[in-house]
A and B are shown apart, each in its own frame.
Chain A
Amino acid sequence: MNSNTLDFEKPINELEKKIEEMKEYEDNLDIREEIEKLEEKVITLKKNVFKNLTRWQRVQLARHPERPYTLDYIYLMTEDFIELHGDRTYRDDKAIIGGFAKIDEYKVMIIGQQKGRDTKSNVLRNFGMANPEGYRKALRLMKLAEKFNKPVITLIDTPGAYPGLEAEQNGQAEAIARNLLEMSRLKVPIIVVIIGEGASGGALGIGVGDRILMLENTWYSVISPESCSSILWRSWDYKEQAAEALKLTAEDLLELKIIDRIIPEPLGGAHKDHKLMAVTLKEVLKEELENLVKVKPEKMLQNRIEKFGKMGAYTE
């Protein structure tokens, strides 16, 4: 069995493997009927398992090492992507990538955190944890998009902004704060999609927009369940409870009116079918773009400020 398989995926993957094996003998033996039965069974099993996922299991799916990452979506959904590098001040941060791309008739600026798939690429990408120069590159590209009146799409997938010595020295907090301020007054439409992990300020640093969308099996919160456990329970062992308490799934955030829409994933999760996931996301983005480009810029900015202004709960 694949070492990337999550516990609750095991029975599904075992069954799928068995079907694959049987298909090899299909020409010689008359087992078509049996295969069909098993295929139905695996669909029912998937539906049952995925209907009752806990919040922690969603977190695990959001981190699945076979999930599509930003570059996968760019290759599967866009054409003529031209990656643009650097913050024009310090260096190019490989944990955040961005550039011009076409989504059918729409020319956009697409920006996202990029994780790696193996040790080497994870070192290059710093596990998708950006330094201040990454946020500053993102802002430079957004300003570029504004200058030439192109909508911005950001794809969020990060375990957090990098908590390193140089990151602090170079103003991690200032870089994120600046992005929040500038994104809230950027005069072109911004669509934000959480495609994996949305951890805290590191996610929010490219997360201000007119429409905030989440894929079905992703999480978005102020802290990871593990760190939350270590601070509030003083132990790393309460991550499941922390995930429950944080209410960090797409469904939770839709209910809290923090996000606008949940994008369904292929049955079994986005990692089971990259192509289908990318097609689904592409269609959603086109629909959202079609609506947003019709809104007048002044109205759009007013709506954006009001949207975030409404978030929160208090009594007086």
Chain B
Amino acid sequence: MGFFTRSKQNISPDSQKREVPDGQWVKCKECEEIIHVKQLELHSWVCHKCGYHFRIGSEEYIQLLFDKGTFKESNKKMRSVDPLGFVDTKKYSDRISASIKKTGLNDAVRTGIGKIDGNKVSFACMDFKFIGGSMGSVVGEKIARAIDKAYDQKIPMIIISQSGGARMMEAALSLMQMVKTSSRLARLADAKIPYISVLTDPTTGGTTASYAMLGDVNIAEPTALIGFAGPRVIKETIGRDLPEGFQRSEFLEEHGFIDLIVERKDMKEKLSHLIGYMT
């Protein structure tokens, strides 16, 4: 019943390969429209025909949200040290090296400070492509420090989540990152500094059960998978099929856990307005 309870091939089959592949042309996973990469980029990586939101990473979000040239990244070099010497079918240390090489990132989150319509904010954005966006010591520590920056400088905190949950290969240490981040958010809340959580596809497990659900305002992108347990585990537990749209953004909004659903093209404007109300 852990956070990471879905096997890889079941990370919702229709959304597994949403990352933009190399090459000039891509096919929309939803309506099968063939779209040129440049065109897709102009449309915030959203299908112009059906509105399908392609899965994007921190680089693209930084580009979309921040005033040009204002974002400064911090703790860029922080890396995992494989504290448990974890080995399954592969060594964890090898998984990390391979992920670093493949993605050009050092772990599953990037943090820093930048300006959104002139408002200075502390920002963290997860990357699903790095070991399923899983939260281990590095993710926890970087997010905690980003929250501390918001606290020290009295500027709003924004976190974009995209994660399969706590990272298994750091076991209990990963679990404790949930407390590390949530306790810092408690301090931020006591100081009346705004925190906006943006949940994208997918946000599950320990990430949802800590900072992703703790926003003063929780925003989701359309149709993102958001939950605690994975759909397959729930299906096996209850022994029947899950209803259409279960654990999607619209479902979460209907049941009262998401304040609003915002399309990617409107995200910057909405964040900017919210910051205006909360500062």
Interface positions of A (Cβ within 8 A of B): 129, 159-165, 167-174, 176-178, 180-182, 184-185, 199-202, 204-205, 207-208, 220-224, 227-228, 230-234, 238, 241-242, 245-248, 252-253, 256, 258, 304-305, 308-309, 311-316
Chain A residue with Cβ nearest B242: A165
In the complex, the number of residue pairs spanning A and B with C-beta atoms less than 8 Å apart equals 231
Does B267 belong to the interface (CB within 8 Å)? Answer: no
Total residues of chain B contacting the partner, CB 8 A? 71
| CA of A224 to CA of B2, assembled, Å | 7
**In angstroms, how far is the closest chain A Cβ from the Cβ of B32?**
30
| CA of A222 to CA of B5, assembled, Å | 11
User: Which listed segment binds A: B15-23, B39-47, B58-66, B168-176?
Assistant: B168-176
Q: Return chain A residues, CB-CB under 8 Å to B242.
A: 165
**In angstroms, how far is the closest chain A Cβ from the Cβ of B18?**
21
- The winner among A167, A222, A311 for most chain B CB atoms within 10 A is A222
**In angstroms, how far is the closest chain A Cβ from the Cβ of B80?**
6
Interface positions of B (Cβ within 8 A of A): 1-8, 75, 77-81, 83-84, 86-89, 136-138, 140-141, 144, 166-168, 170-180, 182-187, 189-190, 205-206, 208-214, 227-229, 233-234, 237-238, 242, 246-247, 251, 255-257
Q: Return chain B residues, CB-CB under 8 Å to A246.
A: 84, 168, 171-172
> A181-B186, A312-B173 are contacts. A201–B178 as well, Cβ < 8 Å?
yes
Judge whether B183 and A304 touch: CB under 8 Å.
yes
Judge whether B140 and A163 touch: CB under 8 Å.
no
Judge whether B176 and A308 touch: CB under 8 Å.
yes
Q: Return chain B residues, CB-CB under 8 Å to A185.
A: 183, 186-187, 190
> A177-B208, A305-B183 are contacts. A165–B172 as well, Cβ < 8 Å?
no
| CA of A11 to CA of B166, assembled, Å | 40
4 residue pairs, one from A and one from B, having the closest CB atoms: A160-B1, A223-B2, A312-B137, A163-B229
Judge whether B256 and A311 touch: CB under 8 Å.
no
Judge whether A204 and B7 touch: CB under 8 Å.
no
Judge whether A248 and B138 touch: CB under 8 Å.
no
Q: Return chain A residues, CB-CB under 8 Å to B175.
A: 200-201, 204, 221-222
Chain A residue with Cβ nearest B86: A245
Judge whether B256 and A171 touch: CB under 8 Å.
yes
Judge whether A312 and B238 touch: CB under 8 Å.
no
Chain B residue with Cβ nearest A160: B1
Judge whether B1 and A202 touch: CB under 8 Å.
yes
| CA of A168 to CA of B247, assembled, Å | 8
| CA of A246 to CA of B141, assembled, Å | 20
> A161-B228, A256-B83 are contacts. A180–B179 as well, Cβ < 8 Å?
yes
Judge whether A171 and B257 touch: CB under 8 Å.
yes
Chain A residue with Cβ nearest B235: A165
**In angstroms, how far is the closest chain A Cβ from the Cβ of B236?**
9
Q: Return chain B residues, CB-CB under 8 Å to A184.
A: 179, 182-183, 186
Judge whether A311 and B180 touch: CB under 8 Å.
yes
Judge whether A221 and B171 touch: CB under 8 Å.
yes
Judge whether A223 and B173 touch: CB under 8 Å.
no
Judge whether B4 and A231 touch: CB under 8 Å.
yes
- The winner among B137, B175, B234, B257 for most chain A CB atoms within 10 A is B175
- The winner among A178, A181, A313 for most chain B CB atoms within 10 A is A181
Q: Return chain B residues, CB-CB under 8 Å to A305.
A: 183-184, 186-187
Q: Return chain B residues, CB-CB under 8 Å to A308.
A: 176, 179-180, 183
| CA of A118 to CA of B141, assembled, Å | 43
> A200-B1, A311-B173 are contacts. A178–B183 as well, Cβ < 8 Å?
no
| CA of A313 to CA of B141, assembled, Å | 9
Chain A residue with Cβ nearest B82: A313
Judge whether A168 and B246 touch: CB under 8 Å.
yes
Q: Return chain A residues, CB-CB under 8 Å to B256.
A: 171
> A159-B1, A164-B237 are contacts. A201–B176 as well, Cβ < 8 Å?
no
Q: Return chain B residues, CB-CB under 8 Å to A312.
A: 136-138, 140-141, 170, 173, 176-177, 180
A sample of 29 cross-chain residue pairs with beta-carbon separation below 8 angstroms, ordered by A number, consists of A162-B1, A163-B5, A163-B229, A168-B234, A169-B251, A171-B256, A172-B209, A172-B229, A173-B213, A173-B227, A176-B209, A176-B210, A180-B178, A184-B183, A199-B1, A200-B175, A204-B175, A208-B179, A222-B3, A231-B168, A245-B86, A258-B172, A311-B177, A312-B140, A314-B78, A314-B81, A315-B81, A316-B75, A316-B78
Partner of A168, one of B6, B81, B187, B227: B227
Judge whether A181 and B206 touch: CB under 8 Å.
no
**In angstroms, how far is the closest chain A Cβ from the Cβ of B53?**
21
Q: Return chain B residues, CB-CB under 8 Å to A202.
A: 1
Q: Return chain A residues, CB-CB under 8 Å to B186.
A: 181-182, 184-185, 305
Chain B residue with Cβ nearest A230: B7
